[in-house]
Amino acid sequence: MGLAGSGVAGAMLPHASAFALSDRERQFIAEAARMKREAVADGDQPFGAVLVKAGAIIGYGPSRVIVDRNPDAHAERVALWDAQKRLGTTDMAGTVMYSTSRPCALCERALAAANVDRMYFGPDGADGGKPRSS
């Protein structure tokens, strides 16, 4: 964004980052950030997440803790619930979570229970590995 109009895409420059993200992964991270902005615009907490399956977003999660007055409605669980509703199943095997912050223990447990394969978080897409239930 900051480089927009300069003709130089910062992400394209070689750098020493340990992360080698594909353009597609960057899109998912950007979508999670968009969910975060949506949450903030609605007066909620600054968190966002998306759940991805086979290269497509199947669940969108802006934080809804304040708007819905639901302490469980963290961005990651909102994205999970959205995907489960859309797909008509609680089994999210084969899916990957992208969120703007590292999922809290309760969200990670929910992701593990739903068989989510992997989670990435933060602006650089840090690899959180397979969600664990403990």
Q: Which residues bind Zn ion (CB under 5 A)?
A: 74, 104, 107
Closest separation between CB of residue 77 and Zn ion, Å? 6
CA distance 101 to 35: 12
Helix ranges restricted to H, 44-127: 75-87, 105-113
Closest separation between CB of residue 65 and Zn ion, Å? 9
Q: Which is nearer to Zn ion, 29 or 63 (CB)?
A: 63
Closest separation between CB of residue 71 and Zn ion, Å? 10
Q: Report the run of H or E that residue 53 belongs to, with start and end.
A: strand 48-53
Q: Which is nearer to Zn ion, 104 or 126 (CB)?
A: 104
Q: Which is nearer to Zn ion, 52 or 107 (CB)?
A: 107
Sheet arrangement for strand 126-129:
56-62, 48-53, 95-99, 118-121, 126-129
- How many C-beta atoms surround the C-beta of residue 93 within 10 A? 10
Closest separation between CB of residue 121 and Zn ion, Å? 11
